[in-house]
Amino acid sequence: MRLLFREALLSFRRAPVLSGLSITTIAFSLFTIGLFGLVAINLQRALEGLEERVEIVAFIMRGTPAESIAQASQDIAAFPEVQDVGYVSEEQALARARRELVEFRDAYRDLQVNPLPPSLELRLRPGFRDAAHVGAVAERLRGFSFIEDVRYGREWIQRLDHLRNLTGVLGLVIGLVFATVAMVIIGVTIRLTLLQRAREIHIMRLVGATNWFIRGPFLLEGALKGILGGLLAVALCYGGFLVFRRSAESFNGLLFFEPWQAAVIIGFGMLMGLGGSLLSVGRHLRRMGGRADRRAS
């Protein structure tokens, strides 16, 4: 085990430029992914704020008995998508209108009959605040005989949906592209090390080293570089975050990664390092081990 570590660390000293390069590329790719993640986190939170306001209003036919309304409210509150249901009476609706629509205050004051119908206002649980769920709930509400009309901000909700999907897809695509690039670069740097050390590896095999014994230091080297790259990426992200947050008053509330999210980034770096080295070492050993073997027969 100690030998393993010594061999792995030795490569840093033997090829400092190459090692630095691979750490930097891992760091850079994770930094990019990380920045995107930060945008996604903050966008998600902003969206959650907007989603809070997603609500459905169901207008109730005048003259519906209070018991029916109360019963219906209970049924609706039991929908799995529904967070809460509020009843707004005709009087409350009028009072609200007078309060909020100042321009029409006089008009409303002189009214003999109340033109505003009573309504049920409902909000959906988080996770159900997308166009499909809102539409489905609205459809079910229309099924109640005393509900005249159902309103919700259809377009607005759909736009929210698009934005969210776009961030998700974009994040995934960019993340995958950069992860692939980083893995390839790690693979290439490890392959260069392997070529530098081909003679040594050949001799190791001749004196009876197992494949895992040969692989071990390279895998450890890859993992270490990945972890270092991940740490560097988190540090860079934090730097970028601080600069960005200072740039404008309104960014004061910006979020940074939770510790577990930072750990995921670093762990991801480790996996990339391991993956890159595993791929290139595996291929190298197979080629060295059986150039003539496999093809001749």
Partner 1 sequence: MIRLSHVHKTFPNGAVALRDVSFHVARGEFVFLTGHSGAGKSTLLKLLYAEQRPSSGEVRVSGHVVSALKGDQIARLRRRLGIIFQDFRLLEDRTAAENVAFALEVTGARKDAIAARASRVLAQVGLASKSRAYPRELSGGEQQRVAMARALVNDPAILLADEPTGNLDERATRGVFQLLRDINAGGTVVVMATHDLDLVRQTEYRTIEMREGAVVYDSADEAPAPGPQ
Binding residues (CB under 8 A) for partner 1: these are 3, 199-200, 202-213, 292-293, 295-297
Chain-centre distance for alpha carbon 82? 25
- Whether the CA torsion 280, 286, 291, 296 is positive or negative: it is negative
Question: H or E element: which one contains 160?
Answer: helix 154-196
Q: Given the complex with partner 1, which of 47 and 204 has the nearer CB atom?
A: 204
Name the residue nearer to partner 1 (CB basis): 247 or 297. 297
* 225 close to 273: Cβ distance less than 8 angstroms: yes
Closest to partner 1 by CB, 1 vs 78, is 1
The C-alpha atoms of residue 268 and residue 262 are separated, in whole angstroms, by 10
Between 165 and 211, whose beta carbon lies closer to partner 1?
Answer: 211
Minimum distance from CB of 11 to partner 1 (Å)?
A: 13
φ and ψ of 115, to 5 deg: -85, -10
Q: How far is the CB of 19 from partner 1 (least distance, A)?
A: 17
Q: Is 84 helix (H, G, I), strand (E, B) or coil?
A: strand
Q: How many CB atoms lie within 10 A of CB 92?
A: 14
∠251-257-260 over CA atoms, to 5°? 165
Min separation Cβ 223 and partner 1, Å: 21
Return d(Cα 26, Cα 272) in angstroms, integer.
8
Taking CA atoms, 209 is separated from 4, 47, 203, 279, in Å, by 13, 57, 9, 19
Contact 217, 4 (CB under 8 A): yes
In the bound complex, what is the minimum distance in angstroms from residue 204's beta carbon to partner 1? 6
CB of 258 to partner 1, least distance (A): 42
> Which of 194/262 has CB closer to partner 1?
194
Q: How far is the CB of 4 from partner 1 (least distance, A)?
A: 11
| 202 SS3 class | helix
Q: Identify which of residues 17 and 207 has a Cβ nearer to partner 1 in the complex.
A: 207
Q: Which is nearer to partner 1, 155 or 293 (CB)?
A: 293
Q: HSE-up of 109 (CA within 13 Å, CB side)?
A: 7
Of 34 and 216, CB closest to partner 1? 216
Nearest approach, Cβ of residue 16 and partner 1 (Å): 16
Please name which of 205, 209, 208, 187 lies closest in space to residue 282, comparing C-alpha atoms: 187
Q: Residue 262 belongs to what H/E stretch?
A: helix 259-289
CB of 198: closest distance to partner 1 in angstroms? Answer: 12
Q: How many residues does the chain have?
A: 297
